[in-house]
Amino acid sequence: MNILISHIAVPVLTTLALMFASTQKQVRTIAAGGMTIQLIQSLVLLYLFLQERAGGNDAVVLFKQSFAWYPSLGISFDLGVDGIAVAMILLTSIVIFTGIFASWEVDKLYKEFFISLIVLAAGVYGFFVSLDLFVLFLFFELAVIPMYLLIGIWGSGPKEYAAMKLTLMLMGGSALLVVGILGVYFTSDVEGVRTFNILVLGQHHIPIEMQRIFFPMLFIGFGVIGALFPFHTWSPDGHSSAPTAVSMLHAGVLMKLGGYGCLKVAMFLLPEAAQEMSWIFLILTGISVIYGALATVVQTDLKYINAYSSVSHCGLVLFAILMLNKTASTGAVLQMISHGLMTALFFALIGMLYSRTKTRIITEMGGLMKVLPFLSVCYVIGGLASLGLPGLSGFVAEMTIFVGAFEHEDLFHRVATIVAVSSIVVTAVYILRVVGLLLMGPVRNEGYYNFPKAKWFEKIATVSLIVGILVIGLTPLWLSDMIRDSLGTIVDKLVLK
């Protein structure tokens, strides 16, 4: 069986198996087992991919497979991955794997929880492996809708408001996507039966006046889920109300669907309009980066802190994509992966701390380093990665982005880049503030000494993520080469102005 099909099949089968499970133990075992298999096969996929590339196979996508679905409309179930997709799939596998362990102690409607979570993951995998716009869109919506139930049922705080806001905003984005996708479908100069296949559409041309209409739709449509200013407002509410694993998966992976879609659909299919309009979106993403970072500084709720910093970091992804060159785009993908791991780690740790302290307000806590050394050290590592310490993944990503951004020599790009770079300083401010208030200082409460130490499933979750951060930080070259090779087909169409 094709390894990409089994990437969709394993979550689906896990879901089916979960439906027949009854006790909490069975549910946990099946979910963890299924996602472990998924992680292993993602590693196998990476190995096979690198093997093929090393063997000189330089096709645009590998492991291609195609099944006709709606032939009269040109819809077919086309699968295939390039280096970017492989990297994103691996990220998804790590995050969902750790997410299962981070939600080990969910005891309210646990069966439904894991089913929704894994359906969400199945949507994400389908999104990354499909080459057909219709199928891609189907999986995109499939990944969005379980969020409503996940936040609404298992969330905290103003969860109903947050769930509804998040769902409607993301669905509003996907409404724009429908228009964009159908616009591309009908205005491309494909002869005979039209097609939704991205690669085929990429070889054809769309009139520039049509591109001007549909590029903003596709870019904003994907941008909403990538927290593009001013459509980012679902993110803080949604992430702070969501249960731990859902925040991890949503900030870690789902927000990356936006960047990935912008790059591989909007920019790839509508390159001329992308060049013309990039300045508008550069300004918007620049605002995302700075505004997200500044907003983080004044937050006191740990989840809000992480949600706003996600807005800032994901803004940087779109910012880099809009620089329209290989280096910056490589950085964008690296940033997606790096941020995915970091933010998943943060949300996992926040969930673990919250289960002990019962509060997420940083000013009410303190001195956790003394009582929870393991979790606190993990938090510090995540923080350092976030502010871009060399040796950790954040440095590699941000460095690549800014080097790419500085390849532009005109004033506008320079200014934009400098503004964006300054966000690193702000990042340092809010990370160190949290570390200082939360982890250092005197222990605020005698009761803190009775906190249970980190449990085995918590250790699995955090350590796996930290390993990911370290691997990328210490040996980034194989990854950035893999991404860079795959960017050729996209960026070559975006000639620098």
Q: Which is nearer to another protein, 160 or 272 (CB)?
A: 160
Nearest distance from residue 182's CB to another protein, in Å? 4
Phi, psi of 468 (to 5 degrees): -60, -45
Q: How many CB atoms lie within 10 A of CB 363?
A: 10
Nearest distance from residue 126's CB to another protein, in Å? 10
Q: Which is nearer to another protein, 182 or 429 (CB)?
A: 182
Q: Is 152 in the site for another protein (CB under 8 A)?
A: yes
Q: Which is nearer to another protein, 156 or 489 (CB)?
A: 156
Alpha-carbon distance 413 to 68, whole Å?
Answer: 44
Nearest distance from residue 140's CB to another protein, in Å? 9
Task: For residue 414, give Cα distances in angstroms to 42, 282, 402, 421.
Answer: 39, 12, 10, 10
Can you say how many angstroms the Cα of residue 84 is from the centroid of all Cα atoms in its chain? 12
Q: 84 near 333, Cβ under 8 Å? A: yes
Alpha-carbon distance 470 to 91, whole Å?
Answer: 14
Helix (H, G, I), strand (E, B) or coil at 76: strand
Contacts of residue 244, defined as CB under 8 A and 6 or more positions apart, other chains included, come to 99, 102, 103, 347, 348, 350, 351, 352, 354
Determine which residue in the list 148, 229, 260, 291 makes contact with another protein, applying CB under 8 A.
148
Q: Locate 162 and state its tokens.
A: 């947050």
Q: Which is nearer to another protein, 145 or 283 (CB)?
A: 145
Alpha-carbon distance 228 to 222, whole Å?
Answer: 9
Q: 258 near 231, Cβ under 8 Å? A: no
Stretch that binds another protein, among 29-37, 141-149, 287-295, 353-361 (CB under 8 A): 141-149
Nearest distance from residue 191's CB to another protein, in Å? 16
Q: Is 435 in the site for another protein (CB under 8 A)?
A: no
Q: What are the E-state strand segments in 242-401? A: none
Task: Number of residues interacting with another protein: please give it, by CB under 8 A.
Answer: 32
Q: Which is nearer to another protein, 56 or 71 (CB)?
A: 71
Stretch that binds another protein, among 162-170, 245-253, 266-274, 323-331 (CB under 8 A): 162-170
Q: Which is nearer to another protein, 134 or 308 (CB)?
A: 134
Determine which residue in the list 49, 97, 134, 281 makes contact with another protein, applying CB under 8 A.
134
Helix (H, G, I), strand (E, B) or coil at 344: helix
Stretch 164-203 residues interacting with another protein (CB under 8 A): 164, 167-168, 171-172, 175-176, 178-179, 182-183, 185-186
Contacts of residue 475, defined as CB under 8 A and 6 or more positions apart, other chains included, come to none
Determine which residue in the list 22, 25, 56, 72 makes contact with another protein, applying CB under 8 A.
72
Q: 309 near 296, Cβ under 8 Å? A: yes
Stretch 192-251 residues interacting with another protein (CB under 8 A): 213
Alpha-carbon distance 86 to 94, whole Å?
Answer: 12
Helix (H, G, I), strand (E, B) or coil at 332: helix
Q: Which is nearer to another protein, 217 or 426 (CB)?
A: 217
Residues 449-488 vs another protein: string with x where CB under 8 A? ----------------------------------------
Q: Which is nearer to another protein, 185 or 379 (CB)?
A: 185
Q: Taking Cα atoms as reference points, which of 77, 10, 78, 15 lies closest to residue 38?
A: 10
Q: Locate 266 and state its tokens.
A: 């909007």
Q: Locate 468 and state its tokens.
A: 């990911």
Alpha-carbon distance 247 to 151, whole Å?
Answer: 9
Nearest distance from residue 153's CB to another protein, in Å? 6
Q: Which is nearer to another protein, 213 or 471 (CB)?
A: 213
Q: Is 62 in the site for another protein (CB under 8 A)?
A: no
Nearest distance from residue 104's CB to another protein, in Å? 23
Q: Taking Cα atoms as reference points, which of 126, 270, 265 lies closest to residue 196?
A: 265
Q: Is 261 in the site for another protein (CB under 8 A)?
A: no
Q: Which is nearer to another protein, 163 or 333 (CB)?
A: 163
Q: What is the largest CA-CA distance in the chain?
A: 75
Q: Which is nearer to another protein, 70 or 478 (CB)?
A: 70
Nearest distance from residue 149's CB to another protein, in Å? 6
Q: 484 near 403, Cβ under 8 Å? A: no
Alpha-carbon distance 343 to 382, whole Å?
Answer: 8
Q: Which is nearer to another protein, 80 or 155 (CB)?
A: 155
Contacts of residue 446, defined as CB under 8 A and 6 or more positions apart, other chains included, come to none
Nearest distance from residue 168's CB to another protein, in Å? 6
Nearest distance from residue 115's CB to another protein, in Å? 11
Nearest distance from residue 158's CB to another protein, in Å? 12
Q: Is 9 in the site for another protein (CB under 8 A)?
A: no
Alpha-carbon distance 485 to 494, whole Å?
Answer: 15
Q: Is 114 in the site for another protein (CB under 8 A)?
A: no
Contact residues for another protein, defined by CB under 8 A: 69-73, 134, 138-139, 141-142, 145, 148-149, 152-153, 159-160, 163-164, 167-168, 171-172, 175-176, 178-179, 182-183, 185-186, 213
